[in-house]
Structure 1
Amino acid sequence: MEAAVGAPSNHPSVQEVFLDFKGRRAAIVKALTIDYEDFFQQCDPGKDDLCLYGFPNEVWQVDLPAEEVPAEIPEPVLGINFARDGMKERDWVCFVAAHSDTWLIAVAMFFGARFGFDKADRDNLFNMINDLPTVFEAVVGKVKKQGKKKSPVSNHNNKSKSNFKKGSESQENYSKTMESKEDEEEEEEEEEEEQGETPCGTCGENDAGGVDGFWICCDICERWFHGKCVKITRSKAAYIKHYKCPSCSIKKLVNCSF
């Protein structure tokens, strides 16, 4: 795949690199807004690691990563398709948007380093880029309009809602609906009994041993995931004090923008 099609010439100016950035950004915004239905369908979780590429001619493409190592330019985040059906759709598209912003900056600064931009050039390039809304801002603006009537707490599971109410007794809306202590204890007991049959939060399977026998629990939403489904190995998990699943990782960022 020619990820650098339309890249700046051998001796580019700051303006040329900015135009490259602007074209790639426009392509990704188009994929996540105007062409979203097509983009969503192409991100099949059953396929291998997929990336969202944006090209300077404002064309986007969902494809496998480049085979060359190192690649001609920095590669977008891998595996955006794996989380498609394991997250709320709004959270997923905003998650992809945030990673796309990171990739666009990486490509622009890569060209700056490759072509010897000095501090003044880099400052100029960054200021030009910063004058444009980020991909995330563009996507959140569209999602916000579409989901304006949705309650910000309507998607919490019973346990997280219970924990939220315990820490918010002074809030009138929740204090009116507080359940008795006995009811809460019964709910917790029922949840513990069902834990053995809890499906993976990403793939939905509830095989007892999990994929490769390893499961990990999100400390925020308390859902369980196969390690393979969220790209976490047993050895890596040993260094994680508080694990956040992909959905919870982006949730705070999304909510702060709404």
Structure 2
Amino acid sequence: MTATTDRLSLLEQLLGAPAPRLLPGHVWLVGAGPGDPGQLTLDALAALAQAEVLVHDDLVDARVLGLAPQAERVFAGKRGGRPSSTQADITATLITLARQGRRVLRLKGGDPYVFGRGGEEALALAEAGIPFRVVPGLTAGLATLAAAGIPATMRGINHAVVLATGHGAPGHEGELDWAALARLNQPLVLYMALRRLEATAQALLSAGMNPATPAAAVESGTLPGQRVVVTTLGELVNRVRAEGISSPAMIVIGGIVEMRGKLAR
């Protein structure tokens, strides 16, 4: 535990206060941010330093996992179209590990409560009587835009920004009201949108959104392999396909995309 103590001491020097303690039998739901380890919060680092078991998502960067060398790793990845852990299995694992008296870190990409199903896991822990804490993380929908030189809000362009999941494409259970979103005339930031991008784009166009509306796809935001494709809504699907953009990727549609030409470095 010497390395853990040393890391906590360093954090406490930075904080100027005692670091929060991850206790035996407790679960912390921690956001790992968009990918780059530099986007971690100090509380996330405190959790990584203390965890005895690390239950992690597929998209958590290997360098982040490496910050908890003392912890047993349990993979709990969920990827569309690939073999994945079920949500019921993940929550059952968290409860079992906590009841064994382990210090459990549930590490998620982005923020646990923003399209990360962290609310479902927190609810399951609460119903099981397991003590837990939520440590927010930078959500990819905002951090990825910043890394790509696209401000989420810009005076004179927008007064709101909509974060939505691309899973709500027409013809699927729980579909979003794309016509209502199109009428807002505010930028849309779409998570997990590649799989149904064609249906989503068509729904927005059918609702009257101008095909010339600026749009972008950001692959592997904040990571060394980040790629950005800037286009229009009308050409978005073709450009994404032509460039071979793959998951993880964020889609942004709206006037804020035009700022990339002035701000990207």
- Provide the TM-score with structure 2 as the length reference: 0.26
The structure with the largest alpha-carbon Rg is 1
> Going by fraction, where is strand more abundant, 1 or 2?
2
- Provide the TM-score with structure 1 as the length reference: 0.26
